[in-house]
Amino acid sequence: MNPLDGKIRSGQAAHARQPLPAVLGMDLAGTIEALGEGVSGWLPGDEVYAMATGIGGAQGSLAQFAVVDARLLAHKPGNLSMRETAGLPLVLITAWEGLVDRARVRAGQKVLIHGGAGGVGHVAVQIARAFGAEVFATGSAGQQAIIESFGATFIDYRKSSVEDYVAEHTGGEGFDIVYDTVGGETLDASFKAARVYEGHVVSCLGWGQHSLAPLSFRAATYSGVFTLLPLLTGKGGEHHGQILRDAAKLIEAGKLKPLLDPRQFTLQTAEAAHELLAGGAAQGRLVIEI
């Protein structure tokens, strides 16, 4: 489950509103039951995962069966369970698009992830490390152990100012990449943390009104990530499938894993999962098993 599922359910996500009656659920992992006419490269029985449903008019994955655009599919990583795999697609694609596609993360860079214990954040930390970057991540004191378990240097955003952690961790130079997964004031702080000339700020929640002046005075770069575009426009689906295939190699190499909430839910208890997500009480990704 993703926070957007809850927003669609409550009518808050105008850009992703579904026609009623609607079946929610964007992420899935499962087994191919049958192939549509003209579909090649797949066989019944293949285990797959994707972000492919529950938006753009397509019925969602909270069901026993789902009709999926084959371009969006990738083979399930062999070392993860279906439950683990189902918790990855949207956050994995979002993190990958920001770090790999937009910012071109590479070895030797210093990368700052805002919200390093969150859905997108904990995956972004692992991707950056897998590409050889030195990773730092912000969070609250209670999230320190999670962030450090994924190999990032923890920064308590409540105790350290932007100026403080930029000075401490970059000698005042700024970070090569700053990925904002929080939005609002955190995006404004990101502009101040970027390296002069070469810095790149990426955000998956850059929807508010922000002054670009701090970033412009650094002659740095900004990129936005809007992961839903292929489902809303029908364009770019092949690339999402390729991201999941490329990421599966990192997963099978032991460099990437999801953080799941230990509580388990079924289709019959999905309402409780929605309430948990809406209340901000999830301790990792929430997955519905059907």
pLDDT (0 to 100) of residue 13: 75
Cα–Cα dist 69/56, whole Å: 12
Q: Mind listing the pLDDT tens digit for each residue in 229-277?
A: 998 898 899 999 999 999 999 999 999 999 999 999 999 999 999 999 8
Question: CATH number for the 90-224 domain, one of 3.40.50.150, 3.40.50.720, 3.20.20.140, 1.10.150.120?
Answer: 3.40.50.720
- Tell me 285's DSSP state: B
Mean pLDDT to the nearest integer, 70-80: 97
Q: In the block, which residue shows the tokens 């499962």?
A: 30
Banded pLDDT at 174 (limits 50, 70, 90): very high
pLDDT (0 to 100) of residue 103: 98
Backbone torsions φ then ψ of 123, nearest 5 degrees: -75, -40
Cα–Cα dist 83/229, whole Å: 25
Cα–Cα dist 124/139, whole Å: 14
Nearest to 227 by CA among 86, 77, 59, 102: 102
Do 272 and 9 meet the contact criterion of CB atoms below 8 Å apart?
no
C-alpha to C-alpha distances, 275 to 14, 120, 162, 269, 289, nearest whole angstrom: 21, 20, 34, 10, 17
Q: Mind listing the pLDDT tens digit for each residue in 189-243?
A: 999 999 999 999 999 999 889 999 999 999 999 999 999 999 889 889 999 999 9
Banded pLDDT at 114 (limits 50, 70, 90): very high
> Does residue 15 surpass a pLDDT of 80?
no
Domain assignments of the chain as residue spans, ordered by start: 3-87+229-289, 90-224
Mean pLDDT to the nearest integer, 5-32: 86
- Burial class, 197, CB count within 10 angstroms (exposed 0-12 / middle 13-18 / buried 19+): exposed
Do 24 and 66 meet the contact criterion of CB atoms below 8 Å apart?
no
CATH of domain 3-87+229-289: 3.90.180.10
**Taking the model in full, what pTM does it have?**
0.96
Kindly give, in sequence order, each residue whose CB lies less than 8 Å from that of residue 273, ignoring residues fewer than 6 positions away.
1, 265, 286, 288
Name the maximum alpha-carbon separation found in the chain: 59
